[in-house]
Amino acid sequence: MTDLTHNEALQKTTVDQRLTERGIFVTAQRRAIADVLFARNQHLTADQLLMLVNETGAKVSKATIYNTLGLFAEKGLVREIHISSAKTFYDSNTSRHHHFYNMDTGDLIDMKERLAPLFLQSDLPDGTVMETADIVVRVRNQKP
Amino acid sequence: MTDLTHNEALQKTTVDQRLTERGIFVTAQRRAIADVLFARNQHLTADQLLMLVNETGAKVSKATIYNTLGLFAEKGLVREIHISSAKTFYDSNTSRHHHFYNMDTGDLIDMKERLAPLFLQSDLPDGTVMETADIVVRVRNQKP
DNA sequence: CGTGGCATTAGAATAGTTCTAAAATTGATC
DNA sequence: GATCAATTTTAGAACTATTCTAATGCCACG
């Protein structure tokens, strides 16, 4: 067994665990999707993910990409980021952080958490509990 | 001249000024849209606005609603709020403030500004300038 | 094996938004 | 007022991201 296959085996276990821990049934498609998605911290659209997954040789349909992203989001494995009506990103990094969006380039850049505010229970509307706090700071390239 | 028509005349001037100040050419449709939109601080979708405007007797097409909202947003008269891929709200209140979104009811609720963070120029990605900071805190109704 | 229940699929349907090309309106100028 | 160029508005088609549908596939378990 080479190091490569050893690493692959390790990652497979890790990814499987990640899903199982959240009560998600592991299937071939879900693993294929998770392998690509969780390979690193990244921001992907459903379409980009579909292409990347199918490039690995796996054969996964568009509907499954959406089903799976929806499931992962519900279980807290990915975060949805709504930039505009035509741009929904899925963020494989679910640690507490936020984003800068460069309107000129379309880049989505992570923001250090210390810049984000804390919302205390007492700050929230009466009778509600916080689910997520999403901050998008839109920036433009500085004019010369 | 009754008080009512007097008030209407006053409002018309105010709305016209608001557009003209931003270099927006006033037309009948733009005024009809602005009258409804700026009557009070509110969060409307393009569709809701279209219905409200046409209920006043004005006849404005869907395309014009979108054109005008785009123009107003570009000129800083309204703020776009992206809640999900299927929900873009236009906020007639452009003062610095942010939002709570109740995932259970769909309500969008204003957040006091003091809860929002300040983003200093030094915090932003290199070579960029801030355009807007959008914060949406998603909340759910507290379980009994 | 066979059955029940979920997962996956291709493609159709939906819905919000943008585009198109023609008609209408505008302010400026005579 | 009439004319002109430029801009705005319009109806409806086109587009696109996402969701739905109904059929098929895949397991686990008895």
| Model confidence at A61: pLDDT above 80 | yes
pLDDT at B4: 44
Q: What is the mean pLDDT of residues B57-61?
A: 93
What residues approach strand C to within 7 A at the CB? A 25, 27-30, 59-64, 67-68, 85-86; B 26-28, 45-47, 62-63, 66, 70, 86, 88
* Shortest Cα distance, chain A CAs vs residue B139, angstroms: 4
Listed residue (A66, A51, A19) closest to A28, CA to CA: A19
| Model confidence at A1: pLDDT above 70 | no
Nucleotide nearest to A47 (CA to C1'): D17
| Model confidence at B138: pLDDT above 50 | yes
| Model confidence at B105: pLDDT above 70 | yes
Strands A79-84 and A87-91: antiparallel
Share of residues in chain B with pLDDT > 90 (%): 47
Of residues B7 and A20, the one with the higher pLDDT is: A20
**Looking at the complex, does the CB of residue B83 fall below 8 Å from at least one CB of chain A?**
yes
pLDDT at B107: 80
Share of residues in chain A with pLDDT > 70 (%): 81
Angle of the A28-37 helix axis to the A3-21 helix axis, nearest 10: 110
Nucleotides of C under 7 A from a protein CB: 6-11, 15-20, 25-27
| Model confidence at A138: pLDDT above 80 | no
Listed residue (B114, B109, B73, B65) closest to B94, CA to CA: B73
pLDDT at A45: 96
| Model confidence at A91: pLDDT above 80 | yes
pLDDT at B39: 95
Contacts of A103 in chain B (CB under 8 A): 131
pLDDT at A53: 96
pLDDT at B87: 83
Tokens of A8: 């692959």
Per-residue pLDDT tens digits for B4-13: 445 555 556 6
Contacts of B103 in chain A (CB under 8 A): 131
pLDDT at A128: 78
pLDDT at A96: 78
CA gap B137, B100 in Å, rounded:
5
**Looking at the complex, does the CB of residue A137 fall below 8 Å from at least one CB of chain B?**
yes
Q: What is the mean pLDDT of residues A37-66?
A: 95
